[in-house]
Structure 1
């Protein structure tokens, strides 16, 4: 029978583990963790590295076997073809010729700038819908009690488990019935609906932890429930709102299946638009890689600016204590 004066670590000390309790074991653990981190880092980052390297290779070098790890003769051919194609397809060839005296011609007929604009339109619209609907629903689910509340929350959670392709046929029928086929509004509504359940769960966690004293103070000041929500809770939920918007934005920006099914070439967003660069055995992979880098710049620039809000929002950093 152990007494209060017994060392609680005595039994553990009798069975010391060399790996965890010796200096040499510490070195082994750190080395193993370092190697595992290196392997995972290479696995994750190598595709990005290969895309960048490919963008600076010529077509002949890309076709070499074995492939080169570094460009033997770095070239901007891929970027030139993408820019020339965008200028010509966008109808700016005459303007460039008048301003700079440069004749722009391209065998590729893809308007990359138009693809970026289309994706921004769809992604921003879907993000706003998801945030507005998800935030309102989460506030009601957090601060109101009603019959079927738990069932509704379970259904919202279950909806996140189904792949988007599982509802492709009914979605296509619905969009066709509403006359929204080949419109960006169709994608905005679909993407907004797909990401709203996630926003509900994220924002509900924020509202659940919101101090009741602040809400009671607003009620003393004779604020209506809507005024409390709009003027008190929403400003303090900025980080969580930004995190929700980024999640919805990225899903809409990267989604391929719905965009490829519901749009034609003239309305394509970035993912299906980049897919048109792939042309069987005649694919110019340096052009594909260059286009991928260019379309990533707006997203990377935006995320670099607001990433701290994203992390704080996911961890519920808007309210402390």
Structure 2
């Protein structure tokens, strides 16, 4: 191997990067990355931390200036008021009084259990609609060639770029014409339609990479296209299907504008229901925080259990097998 030209070596030494080519520079880079990660981590998690500590403060401590970082007087007042409100609004006051001798009395009249059940009904229904129609459409778009296929995929992608509020007026007119105002069914249809394009793009990536040999083997076994799809492909697409369902579920669970506009108080889902706890200058923020924690726990536990399927599903169509 020929020796490096002296002039070239000298030029390299003059332009050598201290930050990237020395041990001290490596420590500086790692320290900077660690500090930046810590700042981002704190920025993301601090609102969650503040919600939790607020839930365990008294109303008087919440109003202190400057605010306390940790609760001085650990209190379950917010949780007690939320539970009493749910018991009273749900009509279980006499039942709890007879069974436990607990006379629930609250100035807040909001049923948390009803909000959760309403949101579960809407979110599961919207997720099912998006999954069924989005998966079927993505399979056709992946395995069939027809005129306008690329244009249709572009339309699906473009639909994800528009905010839902942009179509609020025509949606209102359509809902009024169909007589679906103040029904959970209309939210299921709207949320399902809003998330179906994402399901199409996610599942199409999986179907594009699906081995043709498996489909050909099913045809040799005399399976029809529908049987191949249902009995062969769908079981193997479990992780991607779960990821798609979770995305649709979370969008429906967290959406506020449509639920606030198209429902009244008796049929509220979680987001507008939590908003009713905010009562101008008399808002009890420990109650709002406690209600948010109680409502979030079931979803967080469920997502923690199935998070591995979500990650695997999102990356399932990213690598050629």
Does TM, normalized by the shorter one, top 0.5? yes
**Normalising by structure 1, what TM-score?**
0.96
Question: Residue 52 of structure 1 aligns to a residue in which SS?
Answer: helix
**Normalising by structure 2, what TM-score?**
0.96
Mapped contact 2:209–2:317 kept (Cα < 8 A): no
Are 1:75 and 2:75 matched, yes or no?
yes
Query: Counterpart in 2 of 1:34?
Result: 34
Mapped contact 1:236–1:318 kept (Cα < 8 A): no
Question: Residue 65 of structure 2 aligns to a residue in which SS?
Answer: coil
Query: Counterpart in 2 of 1:235?
Result: 235
Q: Structure 2 matches for 1:60-209, cutoff 5 A?
A: 60-209=60-209
Matches of 2:104 and 2:319, distance apart in 1: 55
Matches of 1:117 and 1:91, distance apart in 2: 16
Distance apart, 1:13 and its partner CA: 5.1
Question: Residue 138 of structure 2 aligns to a residue in which SS?
Answer: helix
Mapped contact 2:130–2:192 kept (Cα < 8 A): yes
Runs of 5+ unmatched residues, structure 2: none
Mapped contact 2:205–2:318 kept (Cα < 8 A): no
Mapped contact 2:134–2:197 kept (Cα < 8 A): yes
Matches of 1:5 and 1:280, distance apart in 2: 80
Matches of 1:151 and 1:320, distance apart in 2: 25
1:7-41 deviations in whole A, cap 9, x for unaligned?
8xx87954321101100000100110011011101
Matches of 1:235 and 1:318, distance apart in 2: 19
1:191-241 deviations in whole A, cap 9, x for unaligned?
000000000000000000000000000011111000010000000000000
Runs of 5+ unmatched residues, structure 1: none
Q: How many pairs does the alignment contain?
A: 316
Query: Aligned pair in 2 of structure 1 residues 219, 30: CA closer, same or farther (>3 Å)?
Result: same
Mapped contact 1:312–1:318 kept (Cα < 8 A): no
Question: Residue 66 of structure 2 aligns to a residue in which SS?
Answer: coil
Aligned CA-pair RMSD: 1.6
Mapped contact 1:237–1:318 kept (Cα < 8 A): no
Mapped contact 2:81–2:287 kept (Cα < 8 A): yes
1:37-94 deviations in whole A, cap 9, x for unaligned?
1110111000000000000000000000111111000100000000000011011111
Question: Residue 110 of structure 2 aligns to a residue in which SS?
Answer: coil
Matches of 1:36 and 1:128, distance apart in 2: 40
Question: Residue 145 of structure 2 aligns to a residue in which SS?
Answer: coil
Query: Counterpart in 1 of 2:45?
Result: 45
Distance apart, 1:95 and its partner CA: 1.1
Mapped contact 2:208–2:317 kept (Cα < 8 A): no
Mapped contact 1:243–1:314 kept (Cα < 8 A): yes
